[in-house]
Chains A and B, each alone.
Chain A
Amino acid sequence: MDAFLAGMAILLDPYMLGVILAGTLLGIIVGALPGISGSTTTALLLPLTVTMTPGAALAFLGSIYCAANFGGSITAILINTPGDPSASATAFDGYPMAKRGEAGKALGISAISSAIGGIFSVFVLIVAAPLLARMAYEFGPPEYFGLAVFGLSMVAMIGGESQVKNLMSACLGVLLATVGLDLTTGVERFTFGVYSLSDGIEFVPVLIGLFAIAEMLEQATQHGVVQDYIRLTAVKLPTLADFRKCAKSIAISSGIGTFIGALPALGATTAAMICYNESKRWSKYKDEFGKGAIEGVAGPEAANNAAVGGAMVPTLALGIPGSTTTAIILAGLIVQGVRPGPHLFTEQPALLYIVFSSMLAANLLYLVLGLGAAKLFARLTLVPAAYLWPAVFVLSMVGAYAPNQSMSDIWTVLIFGVVGFLFRRYGFSPAPLIMGLVLGKMVEESLKQSLLIFDQNWLMFLTRPIVVGLFAVTLIGLFAPFLARAWTRTRKRWRTSPAGDLP
């Protein structure tokens, strides 16, 4: 209890509060800028934190991490460009909402669900970290294979015109995921001798192209078409009714997001993708998804912020980072002379409570800032396209180039801009492609690793209870619609047959 109070007391210290505020503001800004993600920022600022105390350094890096995951949704909603990869699922419904003139509502629900997801995961972190961390040991390649198959099995469900087109789009994503050095053979595939392809296709430029550039091209075709925004509603915040509608999706996503975040190999992006699907699955208004469903914003946003607390679990409890950003936070801690691990909980509980209270504070701060500024940000949708989109284009290019200082990333953006534009023209959704790209690599690698572990014996998968469970859920998910249809058909026949059927 003493340690807990000590941790909370940092919130009374103006210096610590200043550090948290600075981290949160910085996090929102870099999160919102496409290309500059929370992980890049924490890496660049790492040397700066060396001169801080361990507590202040943790609070600073932690607040950037929390806020960046929220910041990413701002640009995803307003200009269809995820500012952070973890916000890509937010764009699926956030942008249609903004186009409909409900930007304020989308931004508001994003801030609220992000904060709820984030705070939930911070509590889980502090209560269950040592327990939850042990679970990571149960997750080997076979379990990740089961999880990836489960994730991929749901692509047909996400928005878009037809399931066939979704599957085609997902296959393209999986195909793109095979580019680069193959982990299990050490052989380069589809790289054509280009260095920048040897580590695979960079994810961020693909996102910027598929969303921002494709949207710009789309806008260009609508030249002369009068945009009739419902100006007054653009700045309206979500109502209590909106929140009630999202409550289930936020609750489900906070839980799943924390769990996925806690798995060392998976991060906020995967969490948001899977929770987008789960929000749709459990929603009463499935038809709205892809066209501006408010639950479609709440789900992924709750999930990606829940994944933040989740990712801190193995980082602090096992010393094994749960994401890129936590890997950098871990490096920062080690430089400070603090080596996380199970002993941290007994030896330095005060430091843990500093993490806890600073992440809690960061989540509340961006909620206030986010809600307060939502009205301001929402006005961006009222800027005429002729000014807005060229600015977005410049920002996208700078964002794509900055992290690796490589021209090939610019080419990736442009190529995927055209791909994204053609996708829209012919009724394909970019969502399955992104899922394919994220999960495709995982499916392949974990399958190959598993088979090496199992001495190439496929049946060994069935000896792992978690895998069997995940396979079962996948099968149910795949066949439930057919079974449900068959069931209603037989029931209908039962009811209609006595009255005589049509020939």
Chain B
Amino acid sequence: MTDRMTASRLTRRAFAAGSTAALGLALAPRARAQDKFPSRVVEVVTHAGVGGGTDITARMMMVHAAGVFQTEFAVVNKVGGSGAAALAYANSRPRDGYTILLITQTHLLTMLQGKAPVKYEEIVALARATDDPQVVMVGKNSPYKTAQDLLAAAKTKQLKFGATQLGGVDHLAIYGFAKKSGIQQPTAIPFRGGGDIVINTVGGNIDVGMLNYAEAESQIKAGDVRALLTLAPKRLGPLPDVPCSKDLGLDANYSTVRGFVALKGVPEENLKTLEQGLIKAMQGQMYASYIETSGQSPDSVVGRAAWQKQLDDFNAEGLDALKGLGLVK
């Protein structure tokens, strides 16, 4: 096969994909009545800037949402205050379902610290978008070969864990993990992002990196990083040999989650429409391949009930951890 042929075949495939997407839009069910919800633009508020992880999740959901809901979706980026600006903006909008938020645990921590104009009780879950379990990893030169090695050593020695932002989601996961596994509270060393943590785990500046699988996938494959323990009740698909916390009899489950919520006061039927529509949009092919390739857990997308329970649990545990770390009184 010549190179020209490869190129033109790829091009044709791209065209085919594009036209399938267009057909999908055209064939989606038409609006039945004029006063049907939603009949105008739905705003998705995120705390991430354009191009941030959460922003990309929102845009990936929107690829199919316009077809499912028969209306346009628009991302509103309200950056600042660790989610406080996004919550404040949503709070200023009518509670009719035309404003939804894509939140992370960060928003809950901000609310717990009393930094947002909205209380946790006002958050109504719609659907979870991504669920990314935390994985305990060490560099290839680390003396710890297994999770048991690490836990045994950490009982007598204060290890250094890499985290993003002190008082943030990672930090709380480290705190909770240490507490539940009975090891010494580690020194948390904060970094700007997962990439920095990976580099310093390989470079040996920190003992342990608390990372999502995708953040270190290429290092794991190259043998530069060893994954020791998945902090989830189930083993991860791409890491079948790495034990999960249940295997070790630990009740330590931590993950990075993103999901859609509305503020209390939105009519019940609109909440239902949003829940069903969002789930449908996230079952679209584009979103599904995003979930798969970005290393999220395959059952990321769940409905209101499960998502609300997860939020409640995190909220309760987050308060304990913030108190334990002396970050909230």
Contact = CB atoms under 8 A, between A and B. Distances in A.
Whether A associates with B in a native complex is yes
Nearest to B292: A337
Nearest to A337: B293
B135 interface: no
B94 interface: no
A162 interface: no
Interface string A447-480: 0010011000000000000000000000000000
Interface stretch (A12-20, A117-125, A299-307): A12-20
B7 A335 contact: no
Contacts of B286: 50
Nearest to A8: B3
Contacts of A404: 49, 77-79
Contacts, number: 173
Interface residues of B, number: 65
B112 interface: no
Nearest to A7: B3
Contact of A137 (B4, B160, B168, B202): B202
A197 B192 CA distance: 17
B189 A449 contact: yes
A137 B222 CA distance: 14
Interface string A186-202: 10000000011111000
Interface stretch (A22-30, A228-236, A326-334, A491-499): A326-334
Interface stretch (A51-59, A151-159, A219-227): A51-59
B246 interface: no
A43 B55 contact: yes
Interface string A251-269: 0000000000000110000
Contact of B51 (A195, A328, A334, A406): A328
Nearest to B206: A453
Contacts of A198: 80-82, 84
A324 B198 CA distance: 17
A502 B195 CA distance: 65
Interface in A308-348: 318-321, 324, 327-328, 331, 334-337, 339-344
A394 interface: no
A58 to B, nearest CB: 12
Interface stretch (A79-87, A138-146, A381-389, A415-423): A138-146
Nearest to B9: A53
B50 interface: yes
A484 interface: no
A183 B82 CA distance: 12
A110 interface: no
Contacts of B198: 318, 320
A380 interface: no
A47 B59 contact: yes
B84 A42 contact: no
Interface in A52-104: 52-53, 55-56
B71 interface: no
A53 B12 CA distance: 9
A128 interface: no
Contact of A183 (B76, B192, B205): B192
A39 to B, nearest CB: 6
A179 interface: no
A53 B219 contact: no
Contacts of B166: 183-186
Nearest to B87: A195
Interface string B1-44: 00110111011011001100100000000000000000000000
A9 interface: yes
Given A198-B80, A343-B218, A15 B191 contact: no
A377 to B, nearest CB: 28
A335 B294 contact: yes
Contact of A335 (B18, B60, B219, B221): B60
Contacts of A6: 3, 6
A264 B6 contact: no
Contacts of B196: 264-265
A324 B52 CA distance: 9
Given A42-B51, A184-B166, A186-B327, A51 B10 contact: no
A136 B196 CA distance: 10
Contacts of A196: 79-81, 85
A403 interface: yes
A47 B58 CA distance: 11
Interface in B195-209: 195-196, 198-200, 202-203, 205-206
A453 B189 contact: yes
A181 interface: yes
B82 A53 contact: no
Given A339-B218, A405-B76, A453-B189, A320 B195 contact: yes
A40 interface: yes
A140 B200 contact: yes
Contacts of B160: 452-453
Pick from B76, B190, B198 the residue with the most CB of A within 10 Å: B190
A341 B199 contact: no
A10 interface: yes
B279 to A, nearest CB: 20
B303 interface: no
Contacts of A199: 79-81
A185 B55 CA distance: 26
Given A9-B3, A10-B7, A184-B166, A137 B203 contact: yes
A40 B77 CA distance: 12
B326 to A, nearest CB: 11
B270 interface: no
A164 interface: no
A406 B79 contact: yes
Contacts of B165: 181, 183, 186
Contacts of B202: 137
28 contacts: A15-B7, A42-B51, A43-B51, A46-B59, A51-B14, A51-B18, A55-B10, A56-B14, A136-B199, A137-B202, A140-B200, A141-B205, A186-B168, A195-B80, A195-B85, A196-B79, A196-B81, A199-B79, A199-B80, A199-B81, A264-B195, A264-B196, A319-B217, A331-B294, A334-B294, A406-B80, A445-B192, A453-B205
Interface of A: 5-6, 9-10, 12-13, 15-16, 39-40, 42-44, 46-47, 50-53, 55-56, 136-142, 181, 183-186, 195-199, 264-265, 318-321, 324, 327-328, 331, 334-337, 339-344, 350, 403-406, 445, 449, 452-453
Top 4 nearest A-B pairs (CB, nearest first) are: A341-B218, A43-B51, A186-B167, A195-B81
